[in-house]
C-alpha cells in the first residue's frame, strides 16, 4: 500500500529574496525617476531623458539583481540548522 507523505514534511519555506540593500537601490531609482519626470515637466529635453533611462533601465534592474548579504546569511543559517 502506498504511504502518504505528510504535507508539513514536504513543505518548503519560501524566503523573500530581497533585503535592505535592494530596497535602498529601489528607493534611489524611484527618486531618480520622479526627478526625471519633474525635469521633463519643466521642459528639459536633455536631463530628463537621461534620468528616466538611468532610473528605469539601470537602477531598477540593479535593485532586483543585487544580492543582499543578510538575506544570503539567513538562508544558509536556516539550511544548516535543519
What is the domain count for the chain? 1
Can you give the residue range of the structural domain that contains 41?
18-75
**Contact status, residue 80 vs residue 27, Cβ threshold 8 Å:** no
Determine the pLDDT at residue 41. 98
Q: What is the mean pLDDT of residues 71-79?
A: 63
Q: How far separated are the first and last CA of the chain, in Å rounded?
A: 30
Determine the pLDDT at residue 70. 74
**Contact status, residue 71 vs residue 19, Cβ threshold 8 Å:** yes
Strand ranges inside 1-82, DSSP E:
none
Q: For residue 3, is pLDDT > 70?
A: no
Residue 50 domain-assigned? yes
What is the total residue count of the chain? Answer: 82
Q: For residue 8, is pLDDT > 80?
A: no
Determine the pLDDT at residue 6. 57
pLDDT in tens, 10-65: 667 788 888 999 999 999 999 999 999 999 999 999 999 999 999 999 999 999 99
Residue 80 domain-assigned? no
Residue 11 domain-assigned? no
Amino acid at each position: 500500500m502506498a504511504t502518504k507523505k505528510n504535507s508539513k514534511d514536504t513543505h518548503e519555506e519560501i524566503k523573500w529574496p530581497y533585503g535592505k540593500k535592494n530596497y535602498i537601490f529601489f528607493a534611489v531609482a524611484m527618486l531618480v525617476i520622479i526627478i526625471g519626470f519633474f525635469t521633463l515637466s519643466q521642459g528639459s529635453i536633455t536631463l530628463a531623458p537621461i534620468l528616466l533611462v538611468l532610473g528605469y533601465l539601470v537602477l531598477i534592474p540593479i535593485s532586483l539583481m543585487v544580492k543582499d548579504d543578510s538575506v544570503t546569511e539567513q538562508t544558509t543559517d536556516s539550511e544548516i540548522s535543519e
